[in-house]
Structure 1
């Protein structure tokens, strides 16, 4: 009786190696897909988080918007295509309230926020307002997001939404109907839909 143990043949080894190679390739492709999906999801979450932070800053500014009687009857908000400018009140401990011009604008896909030096001088406030509406400003810019393709703005006045740049709503007895709310839509590049937020003016 032959008691010698029979080993694997060359064909069996080749078959086993081929099976292992196929399993390894399938496993690598599945792992690669998971890693790519995770990276894309993390990037999307980071982009959304950046927009949420930008909206949080806008909400804080809208909540502290100045009243017309506080700034001598001047305009406290102007909505233009791709640009939002407002006057907000700044409150510091042991100091009187001061007015500050804040502007949001998009330039080359970058959403930036600028603010002027707080002041109680209306002439200085007028100069800061004019500078904020101009093509360039000395106020330092804070980058809120660098992948924004569009910022659409509407204001709520006279019981209707008004697009940016629309003529102000006239009151029946004379004067202008001031907006009480603002809607901001931000769209990222390569994204089909916009993220929309509505803010009350003077809600804080």
Structure 2
């Protein structure tokens, strides 16, 4: 009776073949290599820098928009006040002088002062002047008679005047007056000549009861600021 042969030599080879997949899974379970970790860290750093720069641009853009809106609001308030003053300007005959004038680096308007119904009328002198890079609106107290008006026109801004800062960072404020038959001008001699011509016209018997025409019917104001590429200009009607 012969003994059976057992292929003992092949069994280790089978075990070796089955052991290879297990070793591969063990290596995969060990995690990332050092190079892979460095690459991942570098990618995350780039993403973080790009995110920070994007957030910084958003914040800067928001600040620019906020400043621009604030400047536009200040401009709107200042020009709206100028429009009201020009609209309330009295006639040259009532003022006894040019009701709207540009002299000494200031814009001056003689306007009607708002009073309660039934109260006697009052006048007020308003001046816009640039002081230390800031537009300031100076306003006299209510003036009851011609003597007070003349003193206010000839004098400076006393302690009884109110001073309202309107806008900062202003380099200059320029104004031109529209005089019929003359056009836009900043020459006050042309305004005074127009006032004299209007006064002579009412001496004609046919026009004796007619109101004296205004010497200035329009006002143009240009404001130059350090934050502006060019001056901002607005045009207002006088005594509309």
Q: TM-score, normalised by structure 2?
A: 0.76
Displacement of 1:140 in angstroms is 2.7
Partner of 1:186: 223
Q: Does 1:75 align with 2:98?
A: yes
Q: Is 1:87 aligned to residue 110 of structure 2?
A: yes
State the aligned residue count: 198
| Structure 2 equivalent of residue 145 of structure 1 | 167
Change (3 A) 1:11 1:172: closer
- What's the CA shift for 1:82? 3.5
Residues 89 and 97 of structure 1 are in contact (CA less than 8 Å); yes or no, is this contact kept in structure 2? yes
Structure with greater strand share of residues: 1
Q: Quote how far apart the aligned CAs of 1:32 are.
A: 0.6
**What is the aligned partner in structure 2 of residue 11 from structure 1?**
35
Any unmatched runs of 5+ in structure 2? 1-20, 200-213
| Mapping for residues 38-187 of structure 1, pairs under 5 Å | 38-71=62-95, 73-80=96-103, 82-94=105-117, 95-131=119-155, 134=156, 136-138=157-159, 139-159=161-181, 160-163=183-186, 165-169=187-191, 170-171=193-194, 174=197, 178-187=215-224
Moved over 6 A (4+): none
Hey, what's the Cα distance between the residues in 2 that align with 1:186 and 1:171?
27
Equivalent pair of 2:134/2:165 in contact (CA under 8 Å): yes
**How far did residue 27 of structure 1 move?**
1.2
> 1:171 and 1:128, CA in 2 relative to 1: closer, same or farther beyond 3 A?
closer
Structure (1 or 2) with the greater helix fraction: 2
RMSD: 2.1
Residue segments in structure 1 that go unaligned for 5+ positions in a row? none
Using the alignment, how far apart are the partners of 1:145 and 1:58 within structure 2?
13
Query: How far 1:175 sits from its partner (Å)?
Result: 5.1
Report if the CA contact (8 A) 1:148-1:187 is conserved: yes
